[in-house]
Structure 1
Amino acid sequence: MAKERSSLKKLYEEMKKRIETTAKLGQISEDKRKEHKGFHEWDLVSNRHDHQAIVQIRVSSRISNGSIILNVDCDMYSNNSESVRDALCFLMDEEKGHEIAYVQYPQKFNNLTKNDIYGTSFRVIQKMRDDGRDVREERRAETIIARENSGRKVIVIGGASVEQC
């Protein structure tokens, strides 16, 4: 752990030095420009507001070699402790799991007026009824949609959890 931390600290210090050097020069060195295609958008008059961000993401082999990735947005949270289990029920289903590529819980904004700009008042009409779900559970779930995406199903779940898979 200490070795990994020192390695990350070294990478951070190198990145910090490159950023400071670039800021002083007012341009990106030609060798760095060739390294990343994102730098092609930058020119001498570029600033931090008129180009796409270039981000380095560190992914461990434990994650990248896995078959399932959990992605939680930085400003999101789940008020349902069963939501991960519910998503896994779809992905790991023995009969249909191989057809499902993606499970998403859409964002729902709370305490907004009827004229909210986020479209929260929009309620999706389509519903999918799973085996094992009763009518009472179906009413509790606000939105369950299955749609095709590149030949594999995309499941979007909103509202209450699916109690049985």
Structure 2
Amino acid sequence: MKLSAHFSLEEFTISSKALSMGVRNDPTPAHLENLKHLAERMEAVRALFNRPVEITSAYRNPQVNAAVGGVPTSAHALGHAADFHVDGLNDLDVAKGVRDSGLKFDQLIYEKSRCVHISFDPRLRRQVMRQPGGPGSAVYNGLEP
């Protein structure tokens, strides 16, 4: 199922954790609507760089979200967030490009040596952060120390 011109539902729901657990990672109808909105916002990210975007993680159902250590209110569990890379660009430059653009987002996190995380929670707070230590480590304001 296509969510937008360049993104499919499968890209937003594929999960190695769900596969290893033998569970389906299907969104609820409400979360599917959020994923459609997320895909449209990711089209804007793709247009910003005029390059393909690879989604590495997006929707996580409650069981999968708990298994990866996510909080119940995680933007991933609600269908508002994606972790991604932009083809041919390093993640820090991508994070800076999004930060410096006019894109409206809720959170932008440069996860060093891992990915760029972006959420489009309706609050649209434009929080810009970095997580230099990997999953579960401290998160700091700004992209660079």
TM-score class, shorter-chain normalisation, is 0.3 to 0.5
Q: TM-score, normalised by structure 2?
A: 0.32
Q: Computing the radius of gyration over CA atoms, which structure comes out larger, 1 or 2?
A: 1
Q: TM-score, normalised by structure 1?
A: 0.30
